[in-house]
Homo-oligomer: A and B are copies of this chain.
Amino acid sequence: MEYQLANRVSSLKPSIIREILKNSSDPEMIPFSAGNPAPEAFPVEAIQEISARILKDNPILALQYNLTEGYTPLRNTLKQYMASHHNSFREEQDELIVTTGAQQVMDLATKVLCNEGDVVVCEAPTFIGSLNTFRSYNCVLKGVPMDEDGINLEQLDKTLTENPGAKLLYVIPNFQNPSGITMSLEKRKGVYALAKKHNIMILEDNPYGDLRVSGEHLPTIKSMDEDGIVIYAGTFSKVISSGMRVGFAIAPKPIMQKMVVGKQCSDVHTTVWSQIICDEFINHYDYDGHLQKLVEIYRKKSTLMLNAIDQHLVPLGITHTKVEGGLFVWCTLPDSIDMLTFCSEAVKRKVCVVPGSAFLTDESQPCQSFRMNFSTPTDENIVKGVETLGQLAKDMMA
């Protein structure tokens, strides 16, 4: 049979990251291409305890259907936490639901707000998973370049002016994936003001916010949301467990009503066991202490990688962004080295990095950058892998 596919998927390709991830199952490969939390970051003992307890005390609760909006105790916990710790939940304006990872927040926000052909504005580069979600709804993507302190506001104003019906402005203000860049407080305010001026909803994705290894915590854009124009995506993937698939969305009530209906149509509800684990862990364990432990893990790993880059890559003219947290460093090659050749040669030398063009709205645009991850590889391999990349750059320049 000759299959007739929907327009929305006929041009959609598997994400390069996921494809590379498959190949990186080679145990010899140093996985700078990954985005996995460090294995030591998962609170294994606590999860063992909680899981045994809930399956003993209330197994049917964990195994039976539950509400689409999420497990009620976890929703209440998150509402309180996001209000008290981040000033990012307004009882009278917002609603909060649990999602199957933060990826589902992007999916539901797009489903609810974007008709086919609508414009989504985002940072360039940005997270490929979200780009593909927007593409899967046949949205038109408009990328806005970034400065060292976040998205360029003049370019953003220009893009929003040129696209008056644009529906969503997608940003990752903290330790952005892939660039590692953190948006300054001034720019957060500027982004909010421009969104308000141009009557566009902001989709704020904050998977790494708790993983700040240096500098001061900055307020979320959602905390400024007096006007009900921000949808916030949170997740436990980086701080409790990725495999559990628990994220959450905060959105103004009229938007959230439709997101709930969208979630009914997508997967009915999120795994209950995972939701109870998260709720119990936050409430009955030392959650702040756990986050502090993660920060120490990633401070060590990021420092190790940045020092190795300073030692082996910077002298060759390879630059990197300033990284205050998260999981990624963004490196840029001098013009004398072809980026795609560099990345494929690196794989041959058993080091896997992600070509920067994968994160652009238009992959065919020129790009000299690649993304490095420091959470997945061992400390030893961080040093070894950067050395290998330095040697490769030297060889390619010779």
Complex contact B264–A244 (CB within 8 A): no
Q: Is A159 interfacial (CB 8 A cutoff)?
A: no
- Asked, given contacts A112-B9, A271-B245, whether A254 binds B3 with beta carbons under 8 Å apart, the answer is yes
Interface centre among A5, A39, A114, A228 (most CB of B within 10 A): A5
Do B132 and A264 touch across chains, with their CB atoms under 8 A apart? yes
Name the distance in Å between A59's Cβ and chain B's nearest Cβ: 4
Closest chain B CB from A12 CB (angstroms): 5
Asked if residues A63 and B244 are in contact (CB atoms below 8 Å), the reply is yes
Instruction: Report the bound CA distance from A304 to B26 in whole Å.
Output: 57
A307 proximal to B (CB < 8 A)? no
A98 to chain B, nearest CB (A): 12
A63 near B36: Cβ-Cβ < 8 Å: no
A: residues with CB less than 8 A from B are 1, 3-9, 12-15, 18, 21-22, 35-37, 39, 42, 44, 47-48, 51-52, 55-56, 59-68, 100-101, 103-104, 107, 111-116, 118, 129, 132-133, 135-136, 167, 199, 201, 227-229, 237, 241-245, 252, 254-255, 257-258, 260-262, 264-274
- Closest B residue to A49 by beta carbon equals B55
Which residues of chain B are near A245, meaning CB under 8 Å? 100, 267-271
Q: Report how far A270 CA is from B100 CA in the complex, Å.
A: 8
Which B residues touch A133, using CB under 8 A? Answer: 265-266
Copies in the complex: 2
Partner of A64, one of B37, B112, B229: B37
Q: Which residues on the B side are within 8 Å of A118 (C-beta)? A: 6
Chain B residues in 8 Å Cβ range of A37: 64
Residue of B nearest to A68 (CB): B18
Pairwise interchain contact B265-A103, C-beta atoms closer than 8 A? yes
CA distance A270 to B246 in the complex (A): 10
A267 CB contact (under 8 Å) in B44, B104, B199, B228 = B104
- Ordered by A's residue number, 24 sampled pairs between the chains whose C-beta atoms are within 8 Å are A1-B199, A1-B228, A1-B252, A4-B113, A5-B112, A6-B111, A9-B111, A42-B59, A48-B56, A48-B59, A51-B51, A64-B241, A103-B266, A104-B267, A107-B267, A129-B268, A132-B265, A133-B266, A244-B273, A245-B271, A266-B267, A267-B267, A273-B273, A273-B274
In angstroms, Cα B64 to Cα A135, docked, is 27
Per the bound structure, the CA–CA distance linking A8 and B113 in Å amounts to 9
Distance A167 CA – B5 CA, assembled complex (angstroms): 9
User: Are A243 and B3 in touch, CB under 8 angstroms?
Assistant: no
- Provide the bound-state CA to CA distance between A243 and B77, in Å: 20
Question: Which residues from chain B contact A258 at a C-beta distance below 8 Å?
Answer: 5, 9, 12
